[in-house]
């Protein structure tokens, strides 16, 4: 199947859905910006030039350079990685009425991940009459180093995404998509990226709706408050001792890309081992830009969120988010339980003189059920869920107060497709008695080709139907409800909070997500402020 975009002609492939054999079309590895190499390293993306001949969009693009934690930390990818994939439910020439467009931004802590169909297959969503786009963007220091100079202004990964959105606006009609009905959605770092686009004036007009899955800008891991310090720290890891940002960038541009990745990874691991906290360990994340012209982020998230433009939004979390977070620290589990001080110190602004009392109160609250293995893991799951996701509520209140419709959910289905459960079940089977870990909901929106022997039971199939129907209804109309949905999902307001609980059935719950943990931490912070 051949289409013609502004940059030239390209040809894709026909595929079949694993669910029911539904045929759809994939256009893989389409370049949307010039390769960010050589002098373009650390600089904002430059739109792609026209190409000659017919571009073969039949092979998934290389991920942006990274260590793949899902594949034994294998070194994968390329610095030339600014590509996207387009999936359409019919031959574009046969689509007479343009379809709603959904653009997905992957997660991975700004350190890893990609748009790969092995993880984000379109097999489910193509049954729901939308056009889907998945996007690669630069990661770690290559995407988020910010030295406050023209050669390295910061937030290149977010600007990559924005450039992809611009390409989509210009070209998606050629694939049967409606450029005036675009929903951007993402998970974890991808969700906080979507939230940054909602806040940035540079992305205005590039999308109409947003879906935030387990991430907002106010999550501690979504923002770097000391980017220049981290930049010089990166330099020291590579033997650069000067304090001139221009000299540092010239030095880094001459470094092999593997050296930069290795130094970034070592920075992450060293801090993680010292602080026992994911957020504090992420060295390169979105940050405020000091060069104000064409700046993507101009202020801290707390200030920007207060004036968020009205954008219809779905936002939610999984009930056991913290399980995956602390599983990455399993080898430190005894040490963490023995002394929670590093966890608390590096995620909150308590005075050193207050830490002992705060830690004692935290232990009493979270570890009240004793010290058995299952009780300890449950307590640490709740603690890390609250630490890394409890700021969800004040942030979504700002969205609700913008007068845009807001739908809030909690995903808590414990099914046989849950990726964390399937990949870690054998060594830690006792952890998965209930609930959904961070990222588990993704397997019910995207067919997980990389998951060994995916199991589609009756309940799993129903959850897929519900998730895909809710998400695509919202993308089409701004309202997730419809005839095939068994319950009315009412909008959330700051005065009357409610959320949709998504399990093997749907249930509307009155009240706030993370209400219990949020109340505890609010009291603690007020007591020790």
Query: Helices in 293-411 by DSSP H: which ranges?
Result: 301-305, 322-327, 333-338, 341-345, 355-366, 373-389, 392-401
Residues in a beta bridge with 276: none
Question: What are the backbone dihedrals phi and psi of residue 56, each rounded to the nearest 5 degrees, phi first?
Answer: -85, 95
Q: 416: burial class by Cβ within 10 Å (0-12, 13-18, 19+)?
A: middle
Task: Assess contact for 131 and 89: CB atoms under 8 A.
Answer: yes
Find out whether 64 and 142 touch, Cβ atoms under 8 Å: yes
Nearest to residue 191, comparing CAs of 492, 403, 445? 445
Per-residue pLDDT of the chain (529 residues; tens, 9 = 90+): 899 999 999 999 999 998 889 999 999 999 999 999 999 999 999 999 999 999 999 999 999 999 987 777 889 999 999 999 999 999 999 999 999 999 999 999 999 999 999 999 999 999 999 999 999 999 999 999 999 999 999 999 999 999 999 999 999 999 999 999 999 999 999 999 999 999 999 999 999 999 999 999 998 889 999 999 999 999 999 999 999 999 999 999 999 999 999 999 999 888 766 555 555 568 899 999 999 999 999 999 999 999 999 999 999 999 999 887 666 666 566 566 667 888 888 778 888 899 999 999 998 999 887 767 778 788 888 888 888 888 788 899 999 999 999 999 999 999 989 988 777 655 666 566 689 999 999 999 999 888 777 878 999 999 999 999 999 999 999 999 999 998 999 999 988 899 999 999 999 999 888 888 888 988 998 898 7
What pLDDT is recorded for position 52? 94
Helical axes 245-253 vs 227-237, angle rounded to 10°: 50
Using CA atoms, how far apart are residues 133 and 209, in angstroms rounded to an integer? 15
Q: Are residues 399 and 281 in contact, defined by beta-carbon separation less than 8 angstroms?
A: no
Host H or E run for residue 30: strand 23-31
Pairwise CA distance, residues 198 & 196, whole Å: 5
Side-chain-side CA neighbours of residue 475 (13 Å):
29
Q: Which residues contact 418 (CB under 8 A, 6 or more apart)?
A: 432, 436, 437, 440, 443
- Rounded to whole angstroms, how far apart are CA atoms 335 and 246? 41
Residues annotated catalytic, as ranges? 188, 321, 438
Q: What pLDDT, on the 0 to 100 scale, is given for residue 392? A: 82
**Of 63, 61, 28, 31, the residue nearest 48 (C-alpha):** 31
**Residue 527 in 3-state DSSP?**
helix
- Give the tokens for residue 269: 């691991």
Question: What pLDDT does 259 receive?
Answer: 97
CB 189 within 8 A of CB 219: no
Q: What is this structure's pTM? A: 0.95
CA–CA separation, 384 and 325 (whole Å): 7
Q: What are the helix and strand counts (H, E) for the chain?
A: 17, 16
Q: What pLDDT does residue 494 have?
A: 84
* Domains in the chain with CATH codes: 2-309 (3.40.50.1820), 314-527 (3.40.50.1820)
How does DSSP assign 200-227, residue by residue? -GGGTTS-SEEEEES--TTSGGG--S-H
């Amino acid at each position: 199947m051949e289409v013609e975009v502004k940059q030239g002609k390209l040809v894709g492939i026909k595929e079949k859905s694993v669910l029911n054999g539904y045929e759809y079309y994939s256009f893989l590895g389409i370049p949307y910006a010039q390769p960010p190499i050589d002098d373009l390293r650390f600089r904002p993306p430059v739109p792609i030039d026209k190409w000659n001949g017919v571009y073969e969009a039949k092979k998934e693009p290389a991920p942006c350079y990274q260590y793949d934690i899902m594949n034994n930390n294998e070194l994968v990818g390329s610095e030339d990685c600014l590509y996207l994939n387009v999936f359409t439910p019919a031959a574009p020439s046969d689509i007479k009425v343009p379809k709603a467009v959904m653009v997905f931004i992957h997660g991975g802590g700004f350190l890893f991940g990609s748009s790969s169909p092995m993880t984000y297959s379109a097999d489910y969503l193509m049954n729901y009459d939308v056009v889907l786009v998945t996007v690669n963007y630069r990661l770690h220091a290559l995407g988020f180093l910010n030295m406050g100079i023209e050669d390295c202004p910061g937030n290149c990964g977010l600007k990559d995404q924005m450039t992809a959105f611009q390409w989509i606006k210009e070209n998606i009609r050629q694939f049967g998509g409606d450029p005036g009905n675009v929903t951007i959605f993402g998970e974890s770092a991808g969700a906080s990226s979507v939230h940054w686009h909602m806040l940035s004036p540079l992305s205005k007009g590039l999308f109409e709706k947003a879906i935030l899955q387990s991430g907002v800008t106010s999550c501690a891991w979504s923002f770097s408050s000391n980017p220049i310090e981290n930049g010089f720290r990166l330099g020291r890891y590579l033997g650069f001792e000067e304090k001139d940002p221009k000299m540092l960038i010239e030095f880094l541009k001459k470094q092999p890309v593997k050296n930069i990745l290795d130094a970034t990874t070592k920075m992450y691991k060293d801090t993680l081992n010292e602080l026992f906290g994911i957020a504090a360990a992420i060295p390169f994340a979105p940050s405020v830009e000091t060069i104000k012209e064409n700046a993507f982020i101009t202020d801290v998230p707390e200030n920007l969120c207060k004036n968020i433009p009205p954008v219809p939004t779905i936002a939610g979390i999984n009930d056991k988010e913290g399980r995956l977070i602390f599983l990455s620290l399993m080898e430190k589990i005894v040490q963490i339980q023995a002394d929670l001080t590093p966890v608390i110190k590096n995620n909150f602004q308590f005075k050193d003189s207050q830490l002992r009392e705060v830690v004692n109160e935290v232990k009493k609250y979270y570890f009240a059920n004793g010290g058995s293995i299952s009780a300890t893991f449950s307590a640490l799951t709740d603690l890390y869920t609250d630490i890394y996701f409890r700021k969800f509520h004040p942030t979504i209140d700002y969205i609700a107060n913008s007068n845009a419709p807001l739908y809030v959910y909690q995903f808590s289905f414990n099914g046989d497709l849950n990726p964390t459960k399937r990949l870690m079940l054998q060594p830690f089977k006792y952890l998965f008695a209930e609930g959904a870990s961070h990222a588990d909901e993704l397997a019910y929106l995207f067919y997980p080709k990389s998951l060994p022997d995916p199991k589609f039971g009756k309940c799993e199939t129903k959850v897929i139907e519900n998730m895909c129907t809710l998400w695509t209804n919202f993308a089409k109309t701004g309202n997730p409800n419809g005839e095939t949905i068994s319950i009315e999902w009412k909008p959330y307001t700051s005065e009357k909070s409610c959320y949709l609980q998504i399990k093997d059935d749907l249930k509307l719950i009155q009240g706030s997500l993370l209400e219990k943990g949020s109340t505890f931490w609010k009291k603690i912070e007020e007591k020790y402020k």
